[in-house]
Amino acid sequence: MPELPEVEVTRLSFADRIKDAQIVSVRMGKPLRWPLGCDVDLLHGRWVRGVRRRGKYLLLDLDEGLLLLHLGMSGSLAFSDATSAPGAHDHFDMVTTQGTLRLHDPRRFGAVVFAAEQTSSVVQKLLGHLGVEPLTEAFELRAFHAGLRTRSAPIKQVLLAGDLVVGVGNIYASEALFMAGIRPTTRASKIGLERAGRLHRAIQDVLRRAVQQGGSTLRDFSNAQGQTGYFQLEAMVYGRENQPCRTCGTPIQSIRQGQRATYFCPQCQKP
């Protein structure tokens, strides 16, 4: 699944190019996770004023209303001046005066949803429960630590929940916990302020580095210009089961947490 860095990389790859474009036409393919929420004709003639990100959602601000896009499990966006005929897995085309934005989603867990305004109920339903953005000043250490103290679940699961801090998905949670020296099975409530500080810094460092590296391409992720990411090549633990830790040489272990694979070094990461 594309995580926060991949979504941010996607945003950066087309936001400037689509800004101030006028929508010429919209085509919907097979049904996605949620319905568009309006007739496609309603979007014709509207202007794209900018592209924001909230967690793993992209928000296209229009002169009237906004579109919320989610890439789901296997989705990717492409923005091109010359777009070919849609394929079997191309389920959304938005033709604008500056190019065509296309959603390719083989598993159809992604979504494109229209909202008349930021305060619409559908926006609150999709975004209202999301936690603090980790790459902003709002991600404050003491508030983060206070939130951890109220959670009895394993720290890896707390990070994935997204209601305390948003967007720290499976890959980057494993990497941040390694950088902070914290075992993923440690109860969040047992993490003191010093270790919370290390984790706070690690989350920001890992996510920033991933964005710089274009995200992680494990299967078929690419940005809106077709470029793949390279962060996976420097991962310390993720996907490295039984390989030696890059720090101490101990074999990396893998366990299942909430039906997701978790990777860690039993020597470098303490309970």
Q: Which domain CATH number covers 15? A: 3.20.190.10
| Alpha-carbon gap, residue 141 to 77, rounded angstroms | 34
Which residues span the domain enclosing 38?
Answer: 4-127
Which residues, 6+ apart, have CB-to-CB distance to 182 below 8 Å?
155, 191, 195, 198, 199, 269, 270
| CATH number of the domain within which 155 lies | 1.10.8.50
User: What pLDDT, on the 0 to 100 scale, is given for residue 2?
Assistant: 80
Same domain? For 12 and 114 the reply is: yes
Same domain? For 12 and 118 the reply is: yes
User: What pLDDT, on the 0 to 100 scale, is given for residue 129?
Assistant: 95
Would 270 be classed as within a structural domain? no
Catalytic residues: 2-3, 56, 260
User: What pLDDT, on the 0 to 100 scale, is given for residue 232?
Assistant: 76
Token reading at 215: 């995200």
User: What pLDDT, on the 0 to 100 scale, is given for residue 23?
Assistant: 98
Contact 38, 114 (CB under 8 A): yes
Would 136 be classed as within a structural domain? no
Same domain? For 81 and 147 the reply is: no
Question: Residues of the chain whose pLDDT is less than 50?
Answer: none
| Alpha-carbon gap, residue 8 to 11, rounded angstroms | 5
Same domain? For 153 and 111 the reply is: no
Same domain? For 152 and 51 the reply is: no
Domain boundary among 70, 99, 127: 127
Residue among 238, 215, 217, 234 nearest 5 (CA): 215
Residue among 58, 60, 55, 56 nearest 26 (CA): 60
Same domain? For 152 and 47 the reply is: no
User: What pLDDT, on the 0 to 100 scale, is given for residue 223?
Assistant: 52
Would 271 be classed as within a structural domain? no
Same domain? For 109 and 148 the reply is: no
Contact 78, 102 (CB under 8 A): yes
The whole-model pTM stands at 0.90
User: What pLDDT, on the 0 to 100 scale, is given for residue 226?
Assistant: 61
Report the Cα–Cα distance between both ends of the chain, in Å, rounded.
28
| Alpha-carbon gap, residue 179 to 210, rounded angstroms | 14
Same domain? For 150 and 82 the reply is: no
